[in-house]
Homo-oligomer: A and B are copies of this chain.
Amino acid sequence: MAYELYYWDGLQGRGEYVRLALEDAGAEYIDVARSKKGMDAMMKLLGSKTEPHIPFAPPFLKDGDLIVPHVANILLYLGPKLKLAPKDEGLRYVAHGLQLTIADIVAEVHDTHHPLATDLYYEDQKEAAKTRSKNFLDQRVPKFMGYFERVLKQNPHGDTQMVGDTTTYVDLSVFQLVDGLHYAFPRAMKTFGKHYPRVAALHDAVLQRPNIAAYVDSERRIPFNESGIFRHYPELDQDAK
């Protein structure tokens, strides 16, 4: 039976990390909100008064009766089935830890344009967004990306994958993170490859994977836009260091 991915229509958002894994593996899945079932099916499940295991928010995955919410949890669940997780059980906790660190920086990316409240308009928090974005680019990106660069460098199996000796869902998520940052902050990211050569190389390598290349060129890949996590607001960008 096909996996059912529930996520908002019209944006990559957090659903994209799951889509990339499903696409890379060539797995059969239904992107429910974009299918005939539509958003109603998702809203019905979120608002259910009887479902025993309701999710807090999209994305969530439905596999038969099981509902798995949260990107990192979904990838933890799917990883072994899609052959995108380390075989070693201990390394699976390492991979999951890396994915949770990616979730943390993704949340910080969101807060660059919404530092005060998710449900206020960007225009009503633009000044705070400028302060937060500057701090994000000056302090947080180097902290996170310096860390990912070290993870690659110190991987005893080689610096072309984040964990173990095979490509995992973590590598696909690093691709998406770097890709999104290039979209949102093109000026600040201009020298990215100079500072973080291994992370940049990993991004490029993932894009060469046949299923990812085909997906990114397809209509299934929603373009980055200003409804997503990565938003290009020129006033939040700055010159590269």
Contacts and interface: CB of A to CB of B under 8 A. Distances in A.
Interface residues of A, number: 48
A171 to B, nearest CB: 16
Interface stretch (A149-157, A189-197, A201-209, A231-239): A149-157
Given A107-B107, A154-B49, A117 B139 contact: yes
B93 A68 contact: yes
Interface string A64-88: 0111111011001100000000000
A144 B49 contact: no
A216 interface: no
Contacts of A155: 52
B154 A70 contact: no
Taking the full assembly, how many copies of this chain does it contain? Answer: 2
Interface string A117-150: 1011000000010011001000100001001001
Nearest to A68: B93
B119 A100 contact: no
Interface in A81-128: 90, 93-94, 96-97, 100-101, 104, 107, 111, 115-117, 119-120, 128
A232 B67 CA distance: 37
Interface in A36-57: 48-56
B97 A69 contact: yes
29 contacts: A50-B154, A52-B154, A53-B94, A54-B151, A56-B97, A56-B101, A56-B147, A66-B93, A68-B94, A68-B97, A70-B96, A70-B97, A70-B101, A72-B100, A73-B93, A76-B93, A76-B96, A104-B107, A115-B115, A115-B128, A115-B132, A116-B128, A117-B131, A117-B132, A117-B135, A117-B139, A120-B135, A128-B128, A128-B131
